Chains A and B, each alone.
Chain A
Amino acid sequence: MRRKNDIISQGPSKEEQKIIAWLRKEPVPEVPQEEVQTVCRTAAAYYTRPQGAGDAGFWLAALSCLTGGTALLWILAAFLLGSCAALSALTGSLEAEPFALLIALSPVPMLSFAIRELQYRDSSLVQLEKTCKYSPDKIYFARLWIGMAFNMLFVALAGTAFPRSGPLLKLLFLAFTAMFLMGAAALAVMSFLESALPLSLMLAAWVPGAFWLLCQDGVLDLLMGVGTGILAAGAAAGLGLFAAAAVKTTKRLYA
């Protein structure tokens, strides 16, 4: 009996040669030229301007991967944060604690970004991405950090609009810590459950839950009483967790 792969080493037998010849001769129906032309036009219509920037640098390529929908989500999240901040700054009658509001809302952009990323992750496109100039896991990793950087910017801008009734730096560190920890939790969920639903539930539970907790008597005072250095260390630890989760999730999603 011939060895398993001998068709490669010794060449096909006579019968196999016959079969190969028949396979080659097996007719393939022709497609009318007009239909081929239609396919040409349809496919060419899919060529978009950002694709023309094929020679873009790494960060530009990562940025161009962020879709219009993601930008829209960020704008909405920024609007939400900004309007809440402005509202509490302008109306002294608002009962809601502005600090608690900012901390509770701070992870919203990052979580909405994570949800969108997961919802629109098409497996065939991932395969396609693998053939691209930059490694897709690095691009994805960069996108996560771009998302986080924008989130920090939104929170910092919203923070500056709040009434100056407390130390801004402490507020920002608390908001950043919440953002990093929720970001890390979202990534951990993403890497184990490839579904956007748990993330949406997390987002839906976090905002009212955190706001309620922070509005409890003494909770915010307790947090604001902690030294700035300790809060900064907490934020740095949260950042470390987020970075670790980003590395792990990227590796898992693009394995």
Chain B
Amino acid sequence: MEESKLVKRAQKGDRDAMEALIGGYYPLVFAYFYKNTGRYHQSKDLTQEVFIKMISGLSGYRPRAAFKSWLFAIASNHLKNHYRSASRRPEPAELSEALQEVLPADSREISRAELRQDIRAALEKLPPEQREAVVLRFYHDFTPREIAEVTGVKEAAIKSRIRYGLDKLKKELEGYAE
């Protein structure tokens, strides 16, 4: 069913439509948090909280902005709040059990696994705002203008964040990128 109809039905209290919306967007929102935090369980919690916020604010949504942008604006604010509260009381490290990989058999597999780990580590080294812009741009395919709408930051600043973020990633992954 068309997304706008689904949203309208959900706004009228149709639970099936709400569930379809949440089910449809869950992987995207989860991936957004996972790529930004690198923590599986924490990303699941943050995703659930975003959908609760989405439902709480659903009646106020007007199709002036794309639903995806509206939802990601909630997610982006939630991520900022999460960083803020995490800086006040640091959380214990999380075992990335979902990504624990079985030791690869051949050397090609080993280097792929290493590359993945290094990408993860390079992403984690980026300042949160650059990481968010890079993830939204290259993983979620948002345009800089859309990212500006989602984050409430000027488009020029978003372009700079993407630029600096990519430069840093390039430096971190120098050995691979050549």
Q: Which of B1-59 contact A (CB under 8 A)?
A: 11-13, 15, 18-19, 22-23, 26-27, 30-31, 34-35, 40, 44, 47-48, 51-59
Whether the Cβ atoms of A52 and B60 lie closer than 8 Å is no
A40-52, CB under 8 A of B: which get 1 and which 0?
1111101101011
Which of these, B12, B26, B58, contacts A39 with CB under 8 Å? Answer: B26
In the assembled complex, how far is the CB of residue A175 from the closest CB belonging to chain B, in whole angstroms? 37
Contact across chains for B55 and A44 when beta carbons are under 8 A apart: yes
List B96-150 residues whose CB lies under 8 Å from chain A: 98-99, 115-116, 119-120, 123, 134-135, 138-139, 144
Contacts known (A15-B170, A15-B178); A132 close to B160, Cβ less than 8 A: no
The count of residues in chain A whose C-beta lies closer than 8 Å to any C-beta of chain B is 44
A39 to B116: give the CA distance in the assembly, Å: 29
- Specify which chain A residues have a CB less than 8 angstroms from the CB of B15 in the assembled complex: 44, 47
Chain B contact residue count (CB 8 A cutoff): 61
Indicate whether B153 reaches chain A with its CB closer than 8 angstroms. Answer: no
Taking a contact as CB atoms closer than 8 A, the residue among B12, B30, B48, B173 that contacts A42 in the complex is B48
Taking CB atoms, residues of chain A closer than 8 Å to B55 are 43-44, 46-47
Asked if A91 lies at the interface with its beta carbon under 8 angstroms from chain B, I say no
Pairwise interchain contact A7-B163, C-beta atoms closer than 8 A: yes
In the bound complex, do residue A5 and residue B160 qualify as a contact, i.e. CB atoms below 8 Å apart? Answer: yes
Give the B-binding residues of A (Cβ under 8 A). 4-8, 12, 15-16, 18-20, 22-24, 26-31, 35-37, 39-44, 46-47, 49, 51-54, 123-124, 127-129, 131-133
